[in-house]
Amino acid sequence: MPHYQGQMSSKLPNMGSSIFSTMTQLANKNSALNLAQGFPDFSPDKELIKLCKKYFNGKNHQYAPMAGIPELRNTISRLAEHWYTQKYDPATEITIVPGATAGIYAALTALVKENDEVIIFEPNYDCYVPAIRLQGAKPVYVTLQHPEYKIDWDHVKRLVNFKTKAIIINTPNNPTSTLFSAEDMRHLAELTKNTDIWILSDEVYEHILFDGYEHQSVARYPRLAERSIIACSLGKTLHTTGWKLGYLLGPENLMTEIRKVYQYMIFSANTPLQMAINEYLETYEDRINLASLYGQKRDYFLQKIKKSRFKVLPCKGTYFALLDFSKISNEDDFEFAKKLTEQHKIASNPTSVFYRNKINNHALRFCFAKEEKTLKAAAEILCQV
Ligand X SMILES: Cc1ncc(COP(=O)(O)O)c(C=O)c1O
For the bound state, the minimum distance from the C-beta of residue 173 to ligand X, rounded and expressed in Å, comes to: 7
Give me the sheet containing 228-233, strands edge to edge: 94-97, 246-249, 228-233, 198-202, 164-170, 117-122, 138-143
CA 181 to chain centre: 18
241 interacts with ligand X by CB under 6 A: yes
For the bound state, the minimum distance from the C-beta of residue 252 to ligand X, rounded and expressed in Å, comes to: 23
Subset of 117-136 contacting ligand X (CB under 6 A): 125
CA distance 233 to 218: 16
Closer residue to ligand X, CB minimum distance, 106 or 111: 106
Subset of 246-265 contacting ligand X (CB under 6 A): 246
Closer residue to ligand X, CB minimum distance, 72 or 385: 72
Closer residue to ligand X, CB minimum distance, 258 or 385: 258
Question: Which residues does 369 contact at the CB level (< 8 Å), separation at least 6?
Answer: 38, 39, 40, 41, 239, 294, 297, 319
Subset of 165-224 contacting ligand X (CB under 6 A): 170, 174, 202, 204
For the bound state, the minimum distance from the C-beta of residue 57 to ligand X, rounded and expressed in Å, comes to: 26
CA distance 327 to 336: 12
Closer residue to ligand X, CB minimum distance, 191 or 248: 248
Query: How many chain residues interact with ligand X (CB under 6 A)?
Result: 13
For the bound state, the minimum distance from the C-beta of residue 103 to ligand X, rounded and expressed in Å, comes to: 8
Nearest to 140 by CA among 116, 108, 162: 116
Q: Name the DSSP class of 227.
A: T
Closer residue to ligand X, CB minimum distance, 207 or 304: 207
CA distance 23 to 25: 5
Question: Which residues does 371 contact at the CB level (< 8 Å), separation at least 6?
Answer: 41, 42
The residue type found at 134 is: L
CA distance 81 to 139: 32
235 interacts with ligand X by CB under 6 A: yes
For the bound state, the minimum distance from the C-beta of residue 232 to ligand X, rounded and expressed in Å, comes to: 8
Subset of 85-104 contacting ligand X (CB under 6 A): 99-101
Query: Contact letters (x/-) for ligand X, 47-86, by CB under 6 A?
Result: ----------------------------------------
CA distance 191 to 172: 21
374 interacts with ligand X by CB under 6 A: no
Other C-beta atoms closer than 10 Å to the C-beta of 108 total 27
For the bound state, the minimum distance from the C-beta of residue 5 to ligand X, rounded and expressed in Å, comes to: 36
For the bound state, the minimum distance from the C-beta of residue 248 to ligand X, rounded and expressed in Å, comes to: 11
| Residues lying near ligand X in the complex (CB under 6 A) | 38, 99-101, 125, 170, 174, 202, 204, 233, 235, 241, 246
